[in-house]
Every structure is written in structure tokens, then in C-alpha cells.
Chain A
Amino acid sequence: MTPTRRRRLLLVLGILCGVGIAGALALNAFRRNVTFFFDPSQVAQGQVAPGQDFRLGGMVQEGSLRRAPGSLEVSFVVTDFAHQVPVRYDKVLPDLFREGAGVVAHGHLDGSGTFVADDVLAKHDEKYMPPEVARSLKRRHGESRTAPAAPQPAPLPSGAGS
């Protein structure tokens, strides 16, 4: 092996190592940092452990929005018309948030089964719902008629992080 060849080999090996390490670290970051989406029925079935971060999606139940006057603390109920999850939030609600509309919230369950949201997303426009919610509702709707249903295709993701 000529010196040039050996150097080139070392260079290629070095790059491969670097890319390999980067890939492994990225995969690790990925495994720990993706957030899954669940709807109220999945939460009711106990698919999520308390304290685990996830995205909860559904409709804001009509008449469920409660707020102590003058306080940022707000509570509402997210429903998929089969099950309900109470949600607590203490930040500014997005412009498109309202009762009867779709919503996706990021946060975790506390010990009592209340969803403590650290972010409420409503990045859709007036006309349409968050796609996860639309799919989840469609699925629930279908399930009620054709139960017991085969494993359902997962709803479409929204890639928008926030």
C-alpha cells in the first residue's frame, strides 16, 4: 500500500467513523425526543404513563372552558366523543383556540389523570382541523360502527414542532 493510498484509506475511515458516531448520536437523540400523539380514548385505555410527554389531540368540548376571572390558569376538556381528558394550562391560548374546535396540546398526565399542557397548538386555519385529530375522530367514528376493529392505520402526523 502506497503512502498516498494509506492516507486516503485513513481519511475515508475517519470520515466513516465520524458519520457513524453522528448517526448513532442522532438516532439516540431521535429515540428520546420524538413525541407521540394519542387521542382521549387511547389515554383512557391507559396507553400513556403519568409523566410521559406526548401530544393529546381532539375537540375542545363545548361548555368545558373554565377560568378563574383574571387568572391565566385555564382548564378545558378534550374529547373524541368517546372519552374525555381534562386539561390544565397556564399560558396564553392561541388565536384559533375555541370550544368545539380541534386542538392539539403538548404535555403530560399528572397523578390524577389531568393533562398538564405546556403548549397548546392551533396552527391550522379557520376551515380545517389538525390532521391528527381529523384522522383520530374518523377512526373512532368508524370503530363505533365496525367494532371490533382491526389495528387501525395511524393518523397522519403533523411535523410542526413548537
Chain B
Amino acid sequence: MLPELGHFVLILALLLALLQAFFGLAGPALGRERWTGAVSAALAGQAVMVGTAVACLVHAFVTDDFSVLYVAENSNSALPLFYRVTALWGAHEGSLLLWILLLALWSVAVALRSGSLPASFAARVLGVLGLVSFGFLLFTLATSNPFARLEPAAPDGRDLNPILQDPGLAVHPPILYTGYVGFAVAFAFACAAMLEGRLDQAWARWTRPWTSWAWAFLTCGIALGSFWAYYELGWGGFWFWDPVENASFMPWLVGTALVHSLAVTDKRGLFKSWTLLLAILAFSLSMVGTFLVRSGVLVSVHSFAADPSRGMFILAFLIIMIGGALTLYAWRAPLLRSSAGFELGARESFLLFNNVLLVTAAATVFAGTLAPLIADALNLGTLSVGPPYFNPTFLLSMLPLVGLLALGIHANWKRGRLRDKQRLLLVTALVAALLAAGVAFGVYSGPHVLTPVAMTLGFWIALASLVDPLDRWRRGLSLPRAVLGMTIAHLGLAMAVIALTTVQSFTVERDVALAPGESARVGGYELRFEGVRHVEGPNYDAIAGSFALTHHGQPVRTMQPQKRQFWVQHQVTSETAITMDHGNNLLLALGDDLGAGRWSVRVQVRPLVTLVWLAALVMAIGAFIAASDRRYRVTAAALAPGTVLPERVRG
């Protein structure tokens, strides 16, 4: 009965989302205060219904109800309890349900924090969010009902895809989706502002914390995904420019641009229509990401769905949502006027360059991701675009970006007075170059041409971001959380630049054939093969190899990579062994029995790769801190309804 209940409450949620959208949009438009007031009730109902539906599906998983098709396809009675719960988002239908749940949670959070927003504006925000919820609920119910029954019930389930049986999967999709869906809030704020006909600095101030939260979650989600791919997918590497990775990276790039452009709109009242466009774009790319991953149009490591009707539905939905928002934009944006100007060397200019470069980067990634599709549609042959395209084009916009960051961080608003800071710039650049040379030539050897350049930029950003906070501290001034957060996020970026440069320049990878007792040397490490043995897991058989690792004669540790064969799907997966030593990540993957007692082994030594993920975490922490700054709360209260707002646009 519970699956039917789940299906039923999902239909109720659909109707409530429609009501939420209707009250939220029609109420303020027609001036019906009762309708406006009913939005939160509709939202609360929708959220409770969605929560109940999720609980029903979790219950079906936990109790092994194999009469539910989705459970039968993605679970098994031998599956550990933990993975039975996370299997909820192991495939298409459940991921969508997760998406809807997160959207409901974001909407509730907005509703709870909306007390200080003008009532009509808050209602419109929730109305737009209701529209998005409605679309996704309709999609789920029409094409991918997770509660569909299997008649007769399967005796046992087909099991969760073995590569997804990992703690990484438990956290990666929910956090990534929280980021994706979070941009819906920025999108809703943008649409509400255009409907309301008001886009002032207060608007930017309300939108900023939400955008920062979404951006921080997306950053964590991408880093976790990269980490998961590194240790679980078994072919070692942390970024493949795979379509699914790109799908999450494009909204991140545009979201980063949005965070910066919002700062200008907030502080100076400029870039208004551009900010609106970015807010629309960031969420559109999040939805396009869903489309790319879930429609099966682009097949990649992570895609499991391949159903064209779903693709068509998402395409139609995308056209309606994005097209609608852009139409609204075309109608309203010309009404926006910015009177203030700024000089070339002012902070506004640098943030403008930041935006242009980030959007260019997103565009090159977009082109590379969609080129195979377009070539296919135009009959130009089957082609694939990989790192040889993405790496140089991405660097092309990223190197100037980080260089300009180190300069622009010293620039003042409005006036270009960088000349005053000349000495400071020179000193920090020089120290950075010395540090970079020290690392590039001293610690590691044989760098590429770009290695010292990129590394100098990395150190330069780190030093440059510290100048302002140190100056404030020395002068006894307070350090607002917004500034502290920005500094931390920029330090995170510096870490990322340094770590990525090191990994890309100094990674050593070798495939070797070893018999027990033989050893191989890879990147300063010696690896002695001690043999294989048979291991049995809860739902798989495995062969485990044993390798003794030494560094310059000093024993480091014994590593035991496994090759697992799962009982239900008979799929073979490699369980890599990873160890950290002196900042290096060593990865071992056991290959095949080559005969004559030898086994093939893949050995990778990646210096500082852990720092790449840590850097992402630091950036996210910076964004969280910045989002919690008091100025975003105080101003909202100060702008109580009735306050006459400046720069009000004619409606």
C-alpha cells in the first residue's frame, strides 16, 4: 500500500505546486492579498507531500519491496542497509525525486527567511519556485514514476550498480543537487524582480547569500564527484572532461560569474541586466545539465538513463522555462538604467573582465560538450572531444583570470588608482615568482614551460588576497565576514591553481607486470609485489593483491588493491588502493592475471592531488562565511515594506 500512497502524495504535491505557482504569481499581479498570503501554505503542503513520497520510497528500499520496479532494479536483499537507503538516488527516477525534495527544502528555507522581504516580492519568488517544482513533478509523474509496480513482484532485486556501492555516492549526488537546485532560488529572485519591476541594490543584497550558498554546495559537490571518480572508477584521474562533469562545471563557472556580478550590483548598482541574465543562465545550465545527464543524449561514465521520451519532455520544459525567463528579460531589461560610471582601473572593470572570462570559459566547455551532438546532427562524422581540446582552451581564459584577480583585488570601487599600489603589486609578484621557482625547480624537477608561470600566479593570488585583511588587522579595523569569506575563497583558488599545476606537471603513471617477489620503481617509490589472495565481501568475491611500498628504502605501507566480482550483476570492478605520502597520492589498481605468475598493475603517483579537493572545500567554506555576513540580514530588515526604494523601475 505504501508505494500507492507515495504515488498519491506525489500527485497531491503536483497540484499543490501548481497552487503555489498560481497564488504566488497571480496574487501580487491582481493585487489579491488573500492569494498572496496562501502561497506559504501551498508550499508547506507541497513540501510535506514530497517528504512523505520520499519516505515511502525509502521504506520500500529498506523493506526490500521488490514489487516496486525501481527498487527491484536498484536494490537487492544482500545489499547492505546503508546502500539500500542511498540506492534511492542510484538511478534516474530516484535522483529526480531527490531533486524535487531539495527544491522543496530550498523553497521552505526561502519562505522562512522571507519575513523581511516585501510580501508581494516574496510571493513571486515562491511562485516561480512553485512553477519549477510543478515542472519537475509533472516530469516525474509523466515519464519516470518511481512507484511503478512490477507484476508479478521480483523474487530478488537486480542490485545497485556496483560502482555506486560506495560511501562517496551517499554524499556526492545530494550535495551536487543541492547546488544545482540552489541556483533555482537565484533564478526565482531574478524572475520575481523582473515581474515586480524592481531591480535595485536591495534586490542584489537579498539574492547574494542564496547564490553564495548554492555556489558553495555546487563546489563541494563537484569536488566530491571528482574525488569519487578518482578512487572508485578505477582508472585514476580526477577530471576527465566527461559530459557529466562538464554538465556540473558549466553552471559552476556561470555561478562564479554571478556571485561576482551580484557584488557589483549590490555595491554600485551596476551590471543589473547582466546579473539578471547570469542568474537565468546559471539555472538554465543546471537544467541543461539534468537534460544532458538524464536524457542519454550524451553517453558517459555516469549516465544510466537512455529514454528519448524523457529527453523530449525535458527539452520542452527547458524551452518553456528558459524561453519564458528570457522573454521576460527581453521585455523588462531595457527598463533598467545605470547612471553610475567607473574608470578602467576600478574594481568594476576587473569584475567585468572576471565575468567575461568566466563566461568565455563556460562557452568553450559548452561548445566542446555539445560539438559531438552537433556534428552528429549535421552528419559530419562521429567525433569525440577530450582533454586535448578542453585543457588548452580552458587555460586560455583561466590564466588571464587569475592574473587579473591578483591585480584587481587591490583596486578600489569607481576610481582606478592602481598606480598607488604599484610597489605592493611588484613586491607580491616578485615573492610569488620566487616561491614558485623554489617549488617548481627545488622540490620537483623537470617542469613544463607553463609550470612556473601558473605557479607564480597561484602564489600571487594567495599573497594578494592576504594584503587587505592584514592591512585591516594592522590598523585595528574589523574584518567583516563578507571580506573574510572572500579572502578565504580566493586563498582556496590559489591552492587550487598551485595544486592543479603540480598535479598536471609532475604526475607519474606506469603500467607494470609483476610476479610475486618482483618489484618496480615508479617516481621515487619502490613497489614489491607479495602475491594475491582470495577475499569474500558481503555481496562480492574479490582477489586482493598485496604490495609493499618503500620510499628511498624506508617502508611506507602495504597496499592491497582488489578486483571484485559482484554476485548479482557479475560486474567486475577495481577497488583501488590509495595512500598518501609526503604530499603524494599513490594509487594502485590491480589489472589481470597475465600468466606465468605475473599480474598487471597500474601505478600512479600524483603530487598534491588531495590539495585540489581541499582547495574546493576551502572555497566553499569562504562562500559560506561570506553568505553569513550580517549586512545581508540587517539591510533586509531595514527595508521593511513601505520604504521608498531608490531606482524603482516603472512596472
Interface residues of A (CB under 8 A from B): 4, 7, 11, 15, 18-19, 22, 25-26, 29-30, 32-37, 55, 67, 69-72, 90-96, 123-126, 130-132, 151, 153-162
**Interface range, B side:** 35 or more
Shortest Cβ distance from A158 into B: residue: B299
**Beta-carbon contact of A19 and B360 below 8 Å:** yes
Query: Smallest CB–CB gap between B481 and chain A, Å?
Result: 32
> Which one of B192-200, B211-219, B376-384, B459-467 is at the A interface?
B376-384
Query: Smallest CB–CB gap between B114 and chain A, Å?
Result: 37
Query: Smallest CB–CB gap between B577 and chain A, Å?
Result: 14
**Beta-carbon contact of B376 and A157 below 8 Å:** yes
Shortest Cβ distance from A8 into B: residue: B341
**Beta-carbon contact of B393 and A29 below 8 Å:** yes
**Beta-carbon contact of B511 and A125 below 8 Å:** no
Q: How far is the CA of A63 from the CA of B509 in the complex (A)?
A: 30
Known: A25-B393, A159-B298. A90 touches B386 (CB 8 A): no
Q: How far is the CA of A67 from the CA of B574 in the complex (A)?
A: 21
Shortest Cβ distance from B356 into A: residue: A15
In the complex, chain B residues whose CB is within 8 Å of the CB of A162: 235, 237, 240, 386
Q: Is B90 an interface residue (CB 8 A)?
A: no
In the complex, chain B residues whose CB is within 8 Å of the CB of A36: 381-384
In the complex, chain A residues whose CB is within 8 Å of the CB of B595: 67, 69-70
Q: How far is the CA of A28 from the CA of B301 in the complex (A)?
A: 27
One digit per residue, 1 when the CB lies within 8 angstroms of any chain A CB and 0 when it does not, for chain B 205-237 equals 000000000000000000000000000001101
In the complex, chain B residues whose CB is within 8 Å of the CB of A69: 594-596, 598
Residue among A18, A72, A151, A161 making CB contact with B390, cutoff 8 Å = A161
Q: How far is the CA of A162 from the CA of B234 in the complex (A)?
A: 13
In the complex, chain B residues whose CB is within 8 Å of the CB of A35: 383-386
Query: Smallest CB–CB gap between A82 and chain B, Å?
Result: 17
Q: Is B241 an interface residue (CB 8 A)?
A: yes
Known: A125-B571, A126-B570. A92 touches B376 (CB 8 A): no
**Beta-carbon contact of B381 and A72 below 8 Å:** no
**Beta-carbon contact of A157 and B373 below 8 Å:** yes
**CB pairs A–B below 8 angstroms (16 shown):** A4-B341, A15-B353, A25-B393, A26-B367, A69-B594, A70-B598, A72-B513, A72-B600, A92-B600, A157-B376, A157-B383, A158-B298, A160-B301, A161-B240, A161-B386, A161-B387
Shortest Cβ distance from A94 into B: residue: B235
Residue among A11, A70, A132 making CB contact with B349, cutoff 8 Å = A11
**Beta-carbon contact of A70 and B383 below 8 Å:** no
Q: Is B369 an interface residue (CB 8 A)?
A: yes
Residue among A22, A32, A92 making CB contact with B511, cutoff 8 Å = A92
Known: A92-B511, A92-B591. A158 touches B384 (CB 8 A): yes
10 smallest A-B Cβ distances: which pairs? A161-B386, A157-B372, A70-B596, A69-B595, A92-B591, A33-B388, A69-B596, A37-B382, A159-B243, A70-B598
Q: Is B530 an interface residue (CB 8 A)?
A: no
In the complex, chain B residues whose CB is within 8 Å of the CB of A22: 360, 364, 393, 396-397
Query: Smallest CB–CB gap between B511 and chain A, Å?
Result: 4
In the complex, chain A residues whose CB is within 8 Å of the CB of B60: none
One digit per residue, 1 when the CB lies within 8 angstroms of any chain A CB and 0 when it does not, for chain B 556-584 equals 00000001000001111110000000000
Known: A30-B389, A95-B573, A160-B243. A154 touches B381 (CB 8 A): yes
Residue among B341, B384, B397, B591 making CB contact with A159, cutoff 8 Å = B384
Q: How far is the CA of A153 from the CA of B381 in the complex (A)?
A: 8
In the complex, chain A residues whose CB is within 8 Å of the CB of B515: 70
Q: Is B129 an interface residue (CB 8 A)?
A: no
Q: How far is the CA of A124 from the CA of B388 in the complex (A)?
A: 22
In the complex, chain A residues whose CB is within 8 Å of the CB of B242: 159-161
Shortest Cβ distance from A15 into B: residue: B356
Residue among B299, B384, B393, B598 making CB contact with A26, cutoff 8 Å = B393
Instruction: Name the prevailing secondary structure of the A interface residues.
Output: loop
Interface residues of B (CB under 8 A from A): 161, 234-235, 237, 240-243, 246, 298-301, 304, 341, 343-344, 349, 352-353, 356, 360, 364, 367-369, 371-373, 375-376, 379-390, 392-393, 396-397, 511-513, 515, 563, 569-574, 589, 591-592, 594-598, 600-602
In the complex, chain A residues whose CB is within 8 Å of the CB of B397: 22
In the complex, chain A residues whose CB is within 8 Å of the CB of B304: 125
In the complex, chain B residues whose CB is within 8 Å of the CB of A155: 376, 382
Highest count of chain B CB atoms <10 Å: which of A29, A35, A36:
A29
**Beta-carbon contact of B385 and A33 below 8 Å:** yes
In the complex, chain A residues whose CB is within 8 Å of the CB of B376: 153-157
Shortest Cβ distance from B241 into A: residue: A161
Q: How far is the CA of A81 from the CA of B262 in the complex (A)?
A: 58
Q: How far is the CA of A52 from the CA of B235 in the complex (A)?
A: 25
Residue among A18, A151, A160 making CB contact with B300, cutoff 8 Å = A160
Query: Smallest CB–CB gap between A10 and chain B, Å?
Result: 8
Known pairs A70-B594, A159-B385, A162-B235; list 17 more (Cβ under 8 Å): A11-B352, A30-B367, A33-B386, A33-B392, A34-B385, A71-B598, A93-B591, A95-B563, A95-B572, A96-B571, A125-B304, A154-B381, A155-B382, A157-B372, A157-B376, A160-B300, A161-B384
In the complex, chain A residues whose CB is within 8 Å of the CB of B572: 95-96
Known: A70-B597, A160-B301. A26 touches B396 (CB 8 A): yes
Q: How far is the CA of A72 from the CA of B371 in the complex (A)?
A: 35
Q: How far is the CA of A124 from the CA of B375 in the complex (A)?
A: 22
Residue among A7, A11, A161 making CB contact with B385, cutoff 8 Å = A161
Residue among B344, B371, B512 making CB contact with A34, cutoff 8 Å = B371
Query: Smallest CB–CB gap between B584 and chain A, Å?
Result: 20
In the complex, chain A residues whose CB is within 8 Å of the CB of B382: 36-37, 132, 154-157
Q: How far is the CA of A57 from the CA of B299 in the complex (A)?
A: 15
**Beta-carbon contact of B356 and A126 below 8 Å:** no
Shortest Cβ distance from A159 into B: residue: B243
Q: How far is the CA of A26 from the CA of B234 in the complex (A)?
A: 31
Q: How far is the CA of A30 from the CA of B386 in the complex (A)?
A: 10
Q: How far is the CA of A96 from the CA of B571 in the complex (A)?
A: 8
Shortest Cβ distance from A154 into B: residue: B382
Shortest Cβ distance from B574 into A: residue: A95
**Beta-carbon contact of A30 and B513 below 8 Å:** no
Query: Smallest CB–CB gap between A97 and chain B, Å?
Result: 9
Shortest Cβ distance from A32 into B: residue: B388
Known: A72-B513, A154-B382. A159 touches B356 (CB 8 A): no
**Beta-carbon contact of B384 and A55 below 8 Å:** yes
Shortest Cβ distance from B369 into A: residue: A159
Q: How far is the CA of A93 from the CA of B600 in the complex (A)?
A: 9
Shortest Cβ distance from B570 into A: residue: A126
Query: Smallest CB–CB gap between B185 and chain A, Å?
Result: 29
In the complex, chain A residues whose CB is within 8 Å of the CB of B372: 157-159
Q: How far is the CA of A125 from the CA of B372 in the complex (A)?
A: 22
**Beta-carbon contact of A30 and B594 below 8 Å:** no
**Beta-carbon contact of A30 and B368 below 8 Å:** yes
